[in-house]
């Protein structure tokens, strides 16, 4: 039998839209689950995804992809490849699994909401694949670390992290709950698939895959690039949804959704990918700096996309976002390393003399801003005063991104007008924010966010007992053997500069 071309059967098999006669539209698509912004059903039926796939092709492709990555994983398990990996790189991988594996399962909730409450059959079809994709990503990213548990006990956190109240896990949960667990289908399409998956996941999944291959972590590289091929297919849900909103006069609403989630995504990726690329990946294997990746894959791509869709750049683009590219993740890195017992991975300071040269080259002024704090930390390490390099108190935490407030570092770098946190008082409670965009997101929809407590709010509210560093560590699910320590046993503090052979600062 001759095979029909895709265009001859695809729309017929994919589209099953009809006009409701027994029920109201509002009963089928309640606003909390699918905010249609008053756009008529026939307009939503114009939804069309560029890259098309049948269920049969989908299963065939996914079967092949799974075979490939599971074969690589089995081979890695039998080899010594993993044992020889750099400790900093291990930190990047351990952090990745904890922050990403279980949220992939959560993303399946968001995808399945779109698979039921997406407002066109074509969309629901694509979201059904998305649900299966995210289930697969949850499975492989818990299975792979599990099979390496003997070599790296911290991989336990691939499953454990999101079930704890560790502060990074709270930040990830807060972001993902806002983005897709507790979001309606239309907003999810713009915030998860257009804003987050089209741009930011490329950074972690393709950018880190490139670094993984250079480092020699073939298993991780194969895994995350396999995931990204799914990601781009279901990320397609964003573009047609945005087109429909814009074509029906809802550009301002769409702009608000994107500006909101772009900023939140930026902060969590600065924490996860920023530290991994600029401090944890071994110097000799870094292909680009985090800022360069951001400029190439986020700044340029989003600017092109905004232009293609007739959208504006977010209001904070020049004054806040582009400026933070120079300093924000460096400040967060300093904080994560200092509060290292509070994370599930072993942070690599990544500030040996050669690494500092690289940082100064990629981020001119690094030595004169955060570098000064590292000078003091380095002196304390070399003097054996390790207690001085560990925390005795708690930082302030942002009531939006849930990441410690590091604006003093931005002030020192000349990028922020004031070192003081921003605040809002509402119903007698004071909320603190790290930046104008975080405060703006809160004020745009305070009812959505006002009930949430940061890790420090919980301490002050008496939820964490005893209210000490030890009590907080226990609350965060970190036993002494799980708390992060310096990845290289402070080797960076006594290394000499490669180029000059001089001992620096001894």
Partner 1 sequence: MDRGTTEADLIWVQAAALEDIWEGDLLEVDLDGESVIIVHPEGGKIKAFQGICPHQEKSLADGYLEGNLLVCAGHRWEFDVSSGKGINPMGCELFEYLVRVEGDLLFVGYPRKAGRRNFRFTATLAGE
Q: Is the bond preceding residue 466 a cis peptide, omega within 30 degrees?
A: yes
Specify the pairing of strand 429-433 against strand 422-426: antiparallel
Phi-psi label, residue 429: left if phi above 0, alpha if psi -120 to 50, beta otherwise: beta
Does 101 interact with partner 1 (rule: CB under 8 A)? no
Bridge partners of residue 426, in order along the sequence: 429
Nearest-approach distance from CB 71 to partner 1, in angstroms: 18
Does 255 interact with partner 1 (rule: CB under 8 A)? no
Give the distance, in angstroms, between the CA of residue 232 and the centroid of all CA atoms in the same chain.
16
Binding mask 159-198 for partner 1 (x = CB under 8 A): ---------------------------------------x
Residues within window 44-83 making contact with partner 1, judged by CB under 8 A: 45-53, 61
> Which window, 19-27, 92-100, 233-241, 399-407, contacts partner 1 (CB under 8 A)?
233-241
Binding mask 275-304 for partner 1 (x = CB under 8 A): -------------------------xx--x
Does 2 interact with partner 1 (rule: CB under 8 A)? no
Considering beta carbons, is residue 206 or 215 the nearer one to partner 1?
206
Considering beta carbons, is residue 62 or 443 the nearer one to partner 1?
62
Cα–Cα nearest to 279, from 333, 213, 224, 203? 333
Nearest-approach distance from CB 46 to partner 1, in angstroms: 4
Considering beta carbons, is residue 104 or 231 the nearer one to partner 1?
231
Does 366 interact with partner 1 (rule: CB under 8 A)? no
Binder among 309, 411, 449, 490 for partner 1 (CB under 8 A): 309
Binding mask 375-414 for partner 1 (x = CB under 8 A): ----------------------------------------
Considering beta carbons, is residue 54 or 496 the nearer one to partner 1?
54
Asked if residue 151 lies in contact with residue 83, where contact means CB atoms within 8 angstroms, the answer is yes
Chain position carrying tokens 């302030």: 396
Does 244 interact with partner 1 (rule: CB under 8 A)? yes
- Quote the CA–CA distance of 380 and 60 in Å, as a whole number: 58
Cα–Cα nearest to 159, from 174, 187, 140, 186? 140
Give the distance, in angstroms, between the CA of residue 410 and the centroid of all CA atoms in the same chain.
21
Bridge partners of residue 397, in order along the sequence: 404
Which residue stretches of 216-250 are H helix?
218-234, 238-247
- Quote the CA–CA distance of 191 and 195 in Å, as a whole number: 5
Nearest 5 degrees, angle CA 473-CA 474-CA 478? 70
- Quote the CA–CA distance of 366 and 107 in Å, as a whole number: 37
Binder among 33, 232, 396, 504 for partner 1 (CB under 8 A): 232
Does 306 interact with partner 1 (rule: CB under 8 A)? no
Site residue total, partner 1 (CB under 8 A): 33
Q: What are phi and psi of 422, to 5 degrees?
A: -90, 150
Considering beta carbons, is residue 276 or 305 the nearer one to partner 1?
305
Does 22 interact with partner 1 (rule: CB under 8 A)? no
Asked if residue 28 lies in contact with residue 119, where contact means CB atoms within 8 angstroms, the answer is no
Torsion of CA 104, 109, 115, 119, to 10 degrees: -110
Binding mask 437-476 for partner 1 (x = CB under 8 A): ----------------------------------------
Question: What letter does residue 179 receive in the DSSP assignment?
Answer: I
> Which residues of this protein are in contact with partner 1, per CB under 8 A?
6-7, 45-53, 61, 198, 202, 206, 225, 228-229, 231-233, 236, 239-240, 243-244, 247, 300-301, 304-305, 308-309
């Amino acid at each position: 039998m001759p095979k029909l071309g895709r265009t001859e059967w695809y729309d017929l098999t994919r589209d099953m839209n009809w006009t409701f006669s027994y029920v109201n539209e509002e009963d089928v698509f309640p606003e909390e689950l699918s905010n249609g912004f008053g756009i008529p059903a026939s307009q939503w039926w114009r939804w069309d995804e560029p890259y098309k796939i049948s269920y049969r092709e989908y299963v065939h492709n996914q079967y092949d992809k799974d075979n490939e990555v599971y074969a690589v994983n089995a081979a890695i398990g039998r080899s010594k490849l993993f044992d020889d990996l750099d400790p900093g790189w291990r930190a990047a991988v351990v952090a990745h699994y904890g922050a990403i594996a279980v949220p992939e399962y959560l993303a399946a909730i968001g995808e399945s909401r779109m698979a039921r409450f997406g407002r066109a059959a074509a969309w629901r079809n694509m979201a059904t694949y998305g649900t299966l994709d995210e289930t697969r990503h949850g499975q492989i990213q818990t299975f792979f670390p599990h099979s390496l548990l003997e070599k790296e006990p911290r991989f336990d956190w691939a499953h454990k992290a999101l079930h704890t109240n560790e502060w990074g896990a709270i930040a990830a949960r807060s972001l993902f709950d806002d983005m897709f667990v507790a979001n309606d289908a239309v907003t999810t399409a713009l915030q998860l698939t257009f804003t987050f998956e089209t741009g930011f996941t490329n950074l972690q999944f393709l950018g880190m895959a490139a670094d993984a291959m250079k480092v020699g972590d073939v298993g991780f590289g194969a895994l995350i690039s396999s995931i990204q091929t799914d990601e781009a297919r279901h990320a397609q849900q964003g573009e047609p949804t945005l087109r429909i909103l814009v074509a029906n006069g809802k550009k301002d609403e769409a702009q608000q959704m994107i500006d909101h989630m772009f900023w939140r995504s930026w902060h969590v990726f600065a924490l996860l990918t920023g530290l991994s690329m600029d401090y944890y990946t071994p110097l000799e294997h870094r292909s680009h700096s985090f800022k360069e990746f951001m400029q190439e894959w986020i700044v340029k791509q989003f600017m092109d996309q905004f232009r293609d869709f007739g959208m504006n750049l977010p209001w904070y683009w020049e004054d806040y976002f582009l400026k933070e590219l120079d300093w924000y993740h460096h400040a967060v890195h300093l904080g994560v390393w200092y509060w290292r017992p509070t994370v599930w991975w072993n942070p690599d300071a990544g500030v040996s003399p050669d690494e500092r040269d690289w940082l100064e080259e990629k981020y001119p002024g690094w030595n004169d801003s955060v570098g000064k704090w590292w000078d003091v930390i380095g002196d304390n390490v070399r003097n054996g005063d390790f207690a001085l390099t560990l925390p005795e108190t708690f930082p302030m935490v942002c009531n939006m991104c849930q990441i410690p407030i590091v604006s003093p570092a931005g002030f020192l770098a000349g990028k922020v007008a004031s070192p003081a946190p921003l605040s809002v008082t509402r119903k007698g409670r004071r909320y603190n924010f790290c930046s104008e965009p975080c405060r703006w997101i809160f004020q745009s929809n305070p009812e959505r966010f006002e009930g949430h407590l940061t890790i420090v709010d919980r301490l002050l509210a008496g939820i964490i007992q005893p209210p000490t560093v030890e009590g907080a560590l226990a609350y965060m699910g970190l036993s002494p053997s799980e708390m992060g320590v310096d990845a290289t046993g402070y080797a960076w503090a006594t290394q000499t500069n490669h180029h000059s052979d001089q001992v620096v600062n001894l």
